[in-house]
A and B are shown apart, each in its own frame.
Chain A
Amino acid sequence: MSITGDTIISAENLSVGYDKPLIRDICFALHGGEIMTLIGPNGSGKSTILKTIAGYLKKHGGDIYIGDSTIDDLSPNEKARQLSVLLTERLRADIMTCREVVEMGRYPYTGRFGLLSPADNTAVDDAIELVQMSDFAHKDFSEISDGQRQRVMLARAICQEPRILIFDEPTSYLDIYHKIIFLEILKKLTRERSIAVVVSMHELDLAEKISDYTVCVKDGGIFKFGKPQEIFCRDVIRRLFDIPEDLYAKYLSP
């Protein structure tokens, strides 16, 4: 493992699950600029891990550290400045322009009434610029396409200025062009801003290209953890998803 800076987020012997522990002894450490992908069959527990790291589910054991402090020691506002999410759950935007959606990312930084300072406005504009949505900023959030919407959501997450991004299947439902655009922007900003990213994905070919580490989750357990070159090979993928030899050869062999 090459160390490119301080550890930003790490887990030690983390156990996650809803009512009882489902996955035990999860350990990882991410530095600035690194992307960790979670792959595995539906219902294997990827979302459960992400939800626990993001603080929606109580952990059943172990610890999650952001920098040197455990996640439980941070106040909600401190946590909001450190960690930002993009969920599979649709964001409700009744009558909001794309810019207004992005502006919500400034929430942890604004005062009592949530009014934006000039610095906040700059951060919002920069985030919109970064996801290449400047031309759509004034459009209603409900009027744009799924791919564009996901980029606006990315901008919202970025302008929260977090050190950690947690994404649950951000590229599902996007066409291939928008998947690529989304991941390209994500990769770029991760490096530039030295952010640590934990993201679950179904697109194995794309996951291979953006990952620094990959976690394989299967049947409520960690099936394998490692660098992408160790994971994305015939043997591991076939066993992870239980794909019969002949079908793998027919559809997935290069």
Chain B
Amino acid sequence: MINLNLRKSTRIDNKIRCMIAFAALIIAMCALFCVNVFTGSADISMSEVLRVISGGVYRQTGTSATILFKIRIPRALAAMLLGGALALSGYLLQTFFHNPIAGPFVLGVSSGAKLTVALVMIFAVSRFHMVNSAVMILAAFVGSMLSLGFVLIVSHRVRQMSMLVVCGVMISYICSAVTDFIVTFADNSDIVNLHNWSMGTFSGTTMDNVRAMSVVVMSATICVFFLSKPIGAYQLGENYAQNLGVNIKLLRVALISLSGLLSACVTAFAGPVSFVGIAVPHIIKVIFHTSKPIVLIPACFLGGSIFCMLCDMIARTAFTPTELSISTVTAIFGAPVVIIVMIRRKRDEL
């Protein structure tokens, strides 16, 4: 009887823990969104912001309105959506490879996408003087899948998780080198932006971009959420999952293409953003203390949003008027997490 009660109470404790953590994450996300909208290099008072926002998008013509609706709000939304997408993409890759230090950046997925996007941008800008959001996402997706294809081929040959990451990092360097080469020699005035983008930044996002990315990110996220049951079984190992009735081949294809699509969307609009994909899932697992995908999937999304909005805030405001690239900031916070994870893994193995 006592045992039964004890078991029930730990089950409830975990539920309460999850609920509190979710509430805290949602509050943090809203708070950071507000901070990002209210602060910036131009001084706009809080009452001014509220007046402009309550007026709606279309009636406003003043400077404050332009800054808010053309710069700050789309940028904050981009950080929110793309941060979530990155964290989720990292979570899927870690699950797929059963590898705690996998992520779109270290496996070279981001760099592959960067290369194809750069190529398409240069081609499109020189021909049509504009680039469509959908074309960018598509280009990035092709690049992501090509990199992932290479990583998959290697992972078939070597079963060691460290080799997988080394291979990913090498792919990443090759792609980055080629991208830099292209960007350097394509010095069209229209491509000035390309340099900033190739370093990673949320600035310059338009409301149209936000619309495109929200459609892709949201639909991919919902698909991932609907896969939470088979993902939970897959985590036990392929053979056990298969015994439970999971279609392993189909699930693997779904995991790879969804994570590729999510990180492609990020690279298309913000360039490569480092360490969010690796670090956030680990932080979230520590906070929630569970492996259940049905909890971790939404939590990773929220965590990624918060992480990126926080880092973007620092990137914008730490050394005004100079802006840091987003990867500079995410690396400072994200890399230590990876080191801690690796040390803890090693200790467990001993």
Contacts and interface: CB of A to CB of B under 8 A. Distances in A.
Interface of A: 54-56, 75-77, 79-81, 83-85, 87, 89-97, 99-101, 104-105, 107-108, 110, 112-115, 134-135, 137-138, 142, 160
A85 B245 CA distance: 12
28 contacts: A75-B245, A76-B242, A76-B246, A80-B245, A87-B240, A89-B237, A89-B239, A90-B237, A91-B237, A92-B235, A93-B235, A93-B291, A94-B235, A94-B285, A95-B285, A95-B289, A95-B290, A95-B291, A99-B7, A100-B291, A104-B233, A104-B236, A104-B244, A107-B229, A113-B229, A114-B229, A138-B10, A138-B11
Contacts of A110: 229
Given A84-B243, A94-B235, A108-B245, 16 more contacts: A55-B242, A76-B245, A81-B245, A89-B239, A92-B235, A94-B285, A95-B290, A95-B291, A97-B10, A100-B291, A101-B236, A104-B232, A104-B244, A107-B246, A114-B228, A137-B7
Interface in B211-236: 226, 228-229, 232-233, 235-236
A54 B235 contact: no
Contact of A114 (B232, B285, B348): B232
A45 B79 CA distance: 55
A80 B7 contact: no
B193 interface: no
A56 B239 contact: yes
Given A92-B235, A94-B235, A113-B228, A107 B244 contact: yes
Contacts of B229: 107, 110, 112-114
A79, A83, A104, A160: residue with the most chain B Cβ atoms closer than 10 Å? A104
A90 B243 CA distance: 14
Contacts of A114: 228-229, 232, 294
Contacts of B11: 138
B6 interface: yes
Given A89-B237, A89-B239, A107 B245 contact: yes
Ranked 8 nearest A-B pairs via Cβ: A80-B245, A114-B229, A107-B244, A76-B245, A77-B245, A138-B10, A94-B291, A95-B291
Nearest to A101: B236
Interface of B: 3, 6-7, 10-11, 98, 226, 228-229, 232-233, 235-237, 239-240, 242-247, 285, 289-292, 294, 348
Contacts of B294: 113-115
A161 B34 CA distance: 52
A130 to B, nearest CB: 15
Contacts of B290: 95-96, 100
Nearest to B94: A94
A93, A107, A110: residue with the most chain B Cβ atoms closer than 10 Å? A107
B237 A85 contact: no
Contacts of B244: 80, 104-105, 107-108, 160
Contacts of B10: 97, 138
Given A85-B240, A89-B239, A100 B292 contact: yes
B281 to A, nearest CB: 11
A160 B233 CA distance: 13
Given A76-B246, A107-B229, A138-B10, A96 B239 contact: no
Nearest to B243: A85
Contacts of B7: 99, 134, 137-138
A122 to B, nearest CB: 12
A91 B240 contact: yes
Contacts of B6: 138
Given A94-B235, A137-B7, A80 B243 contact: yes
B242 A56 contact: yes
A107 B233 contact: yes
B232, B240, B294: residue with the most chain A Cβ atoms closer than 10 Å? B240
B236 A92 contact: yes
Nearest to A115: B294
B14 to A, nearest CB: 9
A85 B3 contact: no
Nearest to B225: A113
A78 to B, nearest CB: 8
Contact of A96 (B3, B98, B291): B291
A97 B291 CA distance: 10
Contacts of B240: 85, 87, 89, 91, 104
